[in-house]
Amino acid sequence: MELSLSPPCSLRISALNTHRNTTSHQPKIPIKPASKSFDLFFKSSKFLPSSTEIYSLKRSSKLAPNRHYRRNTIWACSQAGAAGSDPILNKISDFKDACWRFLRPHTIRGTALGSTALVARALIENRNLIKWSLVLKAFSGLFALICGNGYIVGINQIYDIGIDKVNKPYLPIAAGDLSVQSAWLLVIFFAVAGVLIVGLNFGPFITSLYCLGLFLGTIYSVPPLRFKRFPVVAFLIIATVRGFLLNFGVYHATRAALGLPFEWSSPVAFITTFVTLFALVIAITKDLPDVEGDRKYNISTLATKLGVRNIAFLGSGLLLVNYVGAVLSAVYMPQDFRRSLMIPAHTILALCLIFQRGYWFHLDVGVGTSKLHKVKISQPNHAYRVNSVQLLESLQLEAISGFYRFIWNLFYAEYIIFPFI
């Protein structure tokens, strides 16, 4: 969320209303396809908006390119009003917002949910060893994990400024809301604080695992290695850190805090395997919305090599394998899992994935380039041609981004049900 605090909030709202009023009288020109194939594309897609909705979509996308910003406009204005004209409060509010975006909240949610679920599972398995004195240790561990997460995503933003200006212009460094110097101070703080907390509370083995995670996050983003340039190595790093290290490390640390030696249980082995494969899918699909910037800066990803459509099918297929494996685990190991929850929950999640996959990609993004080319050469009127091309590009980008967000929601859902399986 980006706060624009320079003008008064009332003036900002007034300006938006003025723009809305002036543009509402402009003629709403429907897009008329010039070829039968393109006409069939529009008529056959029940998910495409009408001409009035098309006009509204383009106008709203100009006013607020980022959906996250639109949802928080009123909140931002109220914050600005509360801060008043005090420049110090304004700067504090701006910096707080920039730091929050710098942390990439969707990754924090995954880390927090994962660690909480694994701790809960360890406690459920050993109810008689629960002590209130462990609460502070648990929260310190969670803070250390958030610091590690902040370091990894932060160091990536520092070295991806040029790419982010194309792919993610809303990120604080790319948007100019956070200086590179401030970003370096933040990532250094995250690394030092995380290592100190883990070292003082969880022993040398967990500290070594934590440092390994920071090291892998560093060589992923930082030259001269910068392994994110190599798709297979990049996927393995992400899957290792978010899949194996997080799950194994948190469960091991929790059992050690309870005074127990480490041993695998079937549910923990399941979630570690499941999430490692899931993290691989996230690593594969995270590049889908970033194809334009990756090509511009010669970043080789599977999305740039194989195409958006093929990678989307690959990611969906791997997730379906995950869900089939979860159902089969419950069927063949009823003594280790609750069939009444495991089977229906993963069946529902798999069906949701199939439905969303069909919905978001009904626009056939894999052949979108050819459709855009047809629009460019077939529309005689320049205004029609520009509007058609921009509309299709906007719809395709929204479909891809929506599919990626949905994958993260499935990731969260797995951790929510895990303590109870």
Q: Is residue 36 part of a domain?
A: no
Same domain, 337 and 221: no
Which pTM value belongs to this model?
0.72
Q: Is residue 123 part of a domain?
A: yes
pLDDT recorded at residue 381: 53
> How many other CB atoms sit within 10 Å of the CB of residue 264?
11
3-state secondary structure of 194: helix
Residue where one domain finishes, among candidates 211, 239, 263: 263
pLDDT recorded at residue 392: 56
CA dihedral (314, 318, 321, 325) in degrees, to 10, reads 180
Provide the residue type at 94 as one letter.
Answer: D
Residue where one domain finishes, among candidates 231, 263, 295: 263
Contact in structure between 1 and 101 (CB atoms under 8 Å): yes
pLDDT recorded at residue 134: 87
pLDDT recorded at residue 393: 60
Same domain, 319 and 362: yes
Same domain, 409 and 277: yes
Q: Is residue 292 part of a domain?
A: yes
C-alpha 165: how far from its chain's center?
A: 17
Residue where one domain finishes, among candidates 263, 298, 333: 263
pLDDT recorded at residue 66: 46
- What is the domain-level CATH number for residue 223? 1.10.357.140
Cα distances from 376 to residues 30, 52, 61, 380, 390, in angstroms, run 16, 22, 21, 9, 11
Chunked in runs of 10, what are the mean pLDDT values of the chain (421 residues)?
A: 40 39 42 40 40 40 42 46 69 92 94 94 89 89 97 96 88 95 97 97 96 97 91 91 94 93 92 94 84 73 80 91 95 93 96 79 47 46 52 68 89 95 89
Q: How many domains does the chain have?
A: 2
Same domain, 396 and 409: yes
User: CA-to-CA distance for 98 and 8, rounded, in angstroms?
Assistant: 20
Q: Is residue 309 part of a domain?
A: yes
Q: DSSP letters of 319-362?
A: HHHHHHHHHHHHHH-TTTS-HHHHHHHHHHHHHHHHHHHHHHTT
* Tokens describing residue 254: 């929790």
Same domain, 285 and 239: no
Q: Which domain holds residue 309?
A: 267-369+387-420
pLDDT recorded at residue 394: 65
pLDDT recorded at residue 255: 93
